[in-house]
Amino acid sequence: MNQAFNGSSKDDFPFYNNQPTAIRPVLWGMILLSVLAGFAVLIAPLPLFSTPFGQFIPAILFFAIPLFCLSKITPTHWRAIFRPVTRNHLKWMLLIGFLNVIVSVVVGLLVLKLYSANPNQAMAHLADAGTFERFLFFLKTLPQLFGEEVFTILPFLALMYAFYTHGALSRSQSVILAWFITAVCFGLAHLPTYDWNLVQCLLVIGTARLCLSLAYIKTKSIWVSTGAHIINDWTLFGLTLMLGLNTSGS
């Protein structure tokens, strides 16, 4: 086993080095299964989930299921992924959020020019929706985008734990591998959204995820990466509606 990071534990990632508590491999497996369960609920084609207010149910369960599992496994320390948002954190939230808008647009245009890109199906419906439906859509993205952060950060920490504690890799190597692997998984999770366009999901969505994950890597707060994600998506969705275009944002 590697030695623990020699900085202050409050400034480090939780759980990967058995701090502030140890989570056994089988329990990490349960956490990952709960993440997949939350995702399965999100994409479940139930009629109730397609109603104006029913759409909030899967968006909430998307994050509630894995967080409930985490809270049962470590009742005292599950909030370690939540750090109080400081003024400096707000700066990172804004910086990463708007940087990702630029990255998403540039990479999206390159993929569109060199390969092909499919529209976000939700945006295709939103373009014809009324004001109230659009309001509900943007409101629903708040729990769903938070869920996407939970969907990414918990596996990120699980992979760091596997690489660092059991894989004899350094902390930096563990961060980099977990960062890239979770970005690929995040991109693949968007395949149904973009009509199974693998290149688009890996290059556009995967690259966007790499950028967004930097917010968590820098601050160790899921609130910051969630805020950056909301800034990114709301900006892209808003611009798309105003310009009458299709978006390839995350």
Task: Taking each helix axis as running N to C, give the angle between helix 87-114 and helix 222-243, from 0 to 180 degrees, rounded to the nearest 10.
Answer: 50
Residue 41 resides in a domain: yes
Note the pLDDT tens digit of each residue in 121-167: 777 777 778 889 999 999 999 999 999 999 999 999 999 999 999 99
Distance CA 136, CA 20 (A): 39
Residue 65 resides in a domain: yes
- pLDDT for the residue numbered 9: 60
Cβ atoms of 249 and 120 within 8 Å: the answer is: yes
The total number of structural domains that make up the chain? 1
Tell me the whole-structure pTM to 2 decimals: 0.92
Residue 1 resides in a domain: no
Residue 246: is its pLDDT beyond 60?
no
Tell me what the pLDDT averaged over the chain comes to. 92
| Mean local confidence (pLDDT), 67-91 | 96
For the record, the structure tokens of 173 come out as 């190597």
- pLDDT for the residue numbered 160: 98
Note the pLDDT tens digit of each residue in 16-40: 999 999 999 999 999 999 999 999 9
Residue 2 resides in a domain: no
Closest CA to 221 of 84, 46, 35: 84
- pLDDT for the residue numbered 119: 81
Residue 223 resides in a domain: yes
Note the pLDDT tens digit of each residue in 163-188: 999 999 999 999 999 999 999 999 99
Residue 250 resides in a domain: no
Residue 247: is its pLDDT beyond 80?
no
Residue 8: is its pLDDT beyond 60?
no
Residue 248 resides in a domain: no
> Which range marks the domain in which residue 47 is found?
9-243
Mapping DSSP to helix (H, G, I), strand (E, B) and coil, where does residue 250 land? Answer: coil
